[in-house]
Amino acid sequence: MATVNPSMSGAEEVRGDTSPPGERAGGDLPLAGYTTLRLGGPATGLVVARQPDELTAAVRAADAGGHRLLVLGGGSNLVIADEGFAGQVVRIATKGRRYDSVGDGLVQLTAEAGEDWDEVVADAVRQGLGGLECLSGIPGLTGATPVQNVGAYGVEVSDLLVSVDLLDRGTGRVRTVPAGELGLTYRNSVLKHNAAAVVLRARFLLRDGGRSAPIKYAELARTLDAEPGTQVDVASAREAVLALRRGKGMVLDAADHDTWSAGSFFTNPIVDRADLPEVLARISAAVGPDQGVPQYPAADGGTKLSAAWLIERAGFAKGHPGPGGRVRLSTKHTLALTNRGAATTRDLLILAREVRDGVRVAFGVSLAPEPVLVDCSL
């Protein structure tokens, strides 16, 4: 049986989706309207699952029938080929949130996979719960956050995740898996690029009292006029994060083509300790010793470099055009590749290859794509 890795990220209700719960739609369904890039060809069939039992039943039915399967949320971290997807699409639209006090000022939030992520964050903030506020404004569904180990402004899902409920496609059973068994690393987990399981719901441990998590990110601290490491009002932290993201075109707006993207297209590269001196020397020789690349500690002694900094120094400015100007780097943020309204997936991939290869030639650093690529590749 052929499978495709599940992608459960997305930011909004599917445009034009009026299918009743669990209904199977016909063939030749364009997937462009199901992604924030507005790109992608048709699918053979689609089922919208609005209840957990509908979701498990749809996945089990596809597996039993030997069909290729794409599990889809709103598609904010997804690039689909122009030819589309020859197989069954199951769109997650499950809803539900619950808060349970676990003592010592801690509250466990349980959210179904189909819950819009930013709505989950906003509701936690309204409840006066701290922990998720730095992840405000990130497009996607809750089920995608542990798959991708979503992170921003010094906070990652791995800092807060307790467990997930997974549908094991091999056995057809649902099991609860602790966060520690998910291999959560920088923008990665054992669930990513792995079609063996589907996230049904996730649990997060938050703290009451109306205070944010300690502010770690320098840019956010400056915006809040706070010292790094201090805590602030949780609502103030959320608003500051949203303002920063809007300034970078990272909050969805249908009228703004800078947000017709998959967010950051490339992850920040992590360089092994042994390779770092040579890489830094090459960068210094190319751009000058007084323009040191931003770098941050990473797991296993590696060093994380800024992909946006490397892209810009390799000669790709904000707004850099791809084929025919139909795709461009965002005019607000060089990490976002954007559809200007009439693009194809092929256009997007040509621009992505140009940027990736340009950075590699200039600095010897390889950039990896962050979105899931469905039936297409760099």
The residues annotated with a catalytic role in the active site are 187, 264, 370
Q: What are residue 97's phi and psi, to 5 degrees?
A: -135, 145
Instruction: List the structure tokens of 342.
Output: 């009439």
Helix (H) / strand (E) containing 147 = helix 144-148
Give the Å distances, CA to CA, from 255 to 195, 249, 258.
Answer: 34, 11, 9
What torsion do the CA atoms of 136, 138, 140, 142 make, to the nearest 10 degrees? -40
SS3 call for 278: helix
Q: What are residue 55's phi and psi, to 5 degrees?
A: -65, -50
Instruction: Report, in angstroms and rounded to the nearest whole number, the Rg of the chain calculated over CA atoms.
Output: 21
Cα–chain-centroid distance for residue 215?
21
**Count of C-beta atoms within a 10 Å radius of residue 110:** 17
SS3 call for 27: coil
Length of the chain: 378
Instruction: List the structure tokens of 128.
Output: 């006066």
Q: What are residue 187's phi and psi, to 5 degrees?
A: 50, 40
Nearest to 368 by CA among 188, 149, 154, 138: 188
